[in-house]
Amino acid sequence: MLKTCTLIIIIIIIIDSICRLCKQFDETVEHIISACPILAEEQYIKRHDRVCAQLHFNICKKIGVKLDKEHWYVYVPQSVKTCHAGKVSISWNQQSGTDRTIPSNKPDIVIRDNRKGTCVLKDAAVPGDRNVIKKEAEKF
């Protein structure tokens, strides 16, 4: 390394660590990524829906549903898509009929195969590291 007479001094002064959006919690990386109540109202939902849209896109491609977009990042899922002459359907964010009351009764994706008589529910979450176990428990 070439010695020079330049001295770089970096001083970081934390004056206020409170989140500039919610003004309730410390503005940490984890708070911004997954715990800010202001960002939860819209931004976290958008992120969740984009993750599910990619999942929906990949499932549709795999089972042979004709898609109007070539790339997942411009794809917007329709509420219901069908293939194989209507014998397989994929629903997006639709309420499911249940025999008992379930508060959040809208699985992200439901794959219904009438030929086999099967139904697969997929519900995603994008939790922060601290909330993974809690979210897993909620989803099951």
Q: Which residues bind Zn ion (CB under 5 A)?
A: 19, 21-22, 36
Minimum distance from residue 131 beta carbon to Zn ion (Å): 15
Q: What is the DSSP string of 60-97?
A: HHHHT---S-SSGGG----SEEEETTTTEEEEES----
Q: For Zn ion, which is the closer residue by CB, 41 or 70?
A: 41
Minimum distance from residue 104 beta carbon to Zn ion (Å): 24
Q: For Zn ion, which is the closer residue by CB, 21 or 51?
A: 21
Q: Are 109 and 57 in contact (CB under 8 A)?
A: no
Q: For Zn ion, which is the closer residue by CB, 21 or 59?
A: 21
Minimum distance from residue 111 beta carbon to Zn ion (Å): 36
